[in-house]
Amino acid sequence: MLCTHEECTRGEVVFSTLRLGRECGECHTGKYKPSEEGLETEVIIPFARHEGGAENWGLQAKIYGSDVADYDEFGHSVSMDGDYVAVGCPGDDDHFSASGAAYVFHRNEGGANNWGEVKKVISSDGAGWDEFGHSVSIDGDEIVAGAPMDDDNGLQSGSVYLYELSALLPVELVSFTALADGDGVILNWVTASETENAGFEVEQRREGGPVLWVSRGFVEGHGTTTETQRYTYRVGALEPGAHVMRLKQVDFDGTAAYSANVSLVVDSPVYTLYPAYPNPFNPVTTIRYVLPRPADVTLIVYDSIGRQVRLLWSGQQPAGSFEATFDASGLSSGVYVYRLDADGWGQTNYAVLLR
């Protein structure tokens, strides 16, 4: 069968590996020198029989490694079994120059047929020019990666690493969503189980711009647990426009895996006073608000009969997102009213103190 994929006609493609998924009618091929992610940061092209017509072998998706860089050779080797794809990246230099890496993708990670990355594997004793991931193979719960330049037993004597797939996936991520929130985004995610999970680094980049991920914070994990865990994290001070978010899950030994990307649009900011959180509360709650421009601001809390009980802020503030803490220590249970005034604009909201 001769592949007629449109990019193969431009002189960009060298198929260094090809493996057909057993009994699934799919093939995955390595591709060199595309332009989207930088020089020689390869992609994988999964084809499916009957995609677009009988015996057509149509393109399903293009897959990129989450952190590929120049000369990584992502896609040098490829293997597929069932809903998992293993991809070799022998030029990766996370540890040392060309120490190498392997990536694992799952068909439905992050959505139906999304082919999301679930794990990046780096050899525990890797050294420069080992080229770990020069060859890879996946079969059931086992993954094999070759490192032909490893010199543990002599110069370029080589080695092979064998892993259990289930052991490589320390966190079972059930869902990951993003909701625009004023000048920021609220991220929610759920895990079904965790193994040696140090936590999640929250990363963000602009949609359509350079693939430059920026760390926006870290959320601690729950170590090892078989119980469902729910996480919420807010990223603020985002510029108006389209953004992409992802999670970098980090094990205690430093190895990492990435979630599927989620996209959202942040609108131009307007004056906004958010509900207090938590609410009801005892005895502390947080009040957030957004200023689209510099303003003279007052934020005051009143009791149910209109008496001022707290002055949370009074003075000039720049444009941006702000938080104020309402500590109700010494106050009785009941409904409290908080009001924000900013250069002629004002809004009121309520919080309930329950002792």
Question: Does residue 6 register a pLDDT over 80?
Answer: no
Q: What is the pLDDT of residue 113?
A: 73
Question: Does residue 57 register a pLDDT over 90?
Answer: no
pLDDT band at residue 16 using 50, 70 and 90 as cut-offs: very low
Give me the mean pLDDT over the 26-48 stretch. Answer: 49
Question: Does residue 286 register a pLDDT over 60?
Answer: yes
pLDDT band at residue 95 using 50, 70 and 90 as cut-offs: confident
Question: Does residue 199 register a pLDDT over 90?
Answer: yes
pLDDT band at residue 33 using 50, 70 and 90 as cut-offs: very low
Question: Does residue 153 register a pLDDT over 80?
Answer: yes
Question: Does residue 188 register a pLDDT over 90?
Answer: yes
For the chain, give the longest Cα–Cα distance. Answer: 84
What's the Cα-to-Cα distance from 1 to each of 29, 56, 318, rounded to whole Å?
Answer: 13, 10, 63
Question: Does residue 311 register a pLDDT over 90?
Answer: yes
Domain with CATH 2.60.40.10 in the chain: 171-266
The mean of the pLDDT values for the chain is 83
CATH topology of domain 272-353: Immunoglobulin-like (2.60.40)
Give me the mean pLDDT over the 236-253 stretch. Answer: 88
Q: What is the pLDDT of residue 56?
A: 73
pLDDT band at residue 255 using 50, 70 and 90 as cut-offs: confident
What's the Cα-to-Cα distance from 196 to each of 119, 211, 295, rounded to whole Å?
Answer: 14, 29, 47
CATH topology of domain 171-266: Immunoglobulin-like (2.60.40)
Q: pLDDT: is 221 or 258 the higher one?
A: 221
pLDDT band at residue 48 using 50, 70 and 90 as cut-offs: low
Q: What is the pLDDT of residue 50?
A: 63
Question: Does residue 231 register a pLDDT over 90?
Answer: yes
In one-letter notation, the amino acid at residue 9 is T
Give the span between the Cα atoms of 93 and 101, in whole angstroms.
8
Question: Does residue 331 register a pLDDT over 70?
Answer: yes
CATH topology of domain 6-168: Methylamine Dehydrogenase; Chain H (2.130.10)
Percent of the chain with pLDDT over 90: 48
Question: Does residue 196 register a pLDDT over 80?
Answer: yes
pLDDT band at residue 44 using 50, 70 and 90 as cut-offs: low
Domain with CATH 2.60.40.1930 in the chain: 272-353
Q: What is the pLDDT of residue 287?
A: 95
Give me the mean pLDDT over the 198-214 stretch. Answer: 89
Q: What is the pLDDT of residue 165?
A: 79
Q: pLDDT: is 112 or 220 the higher one?
A: 220
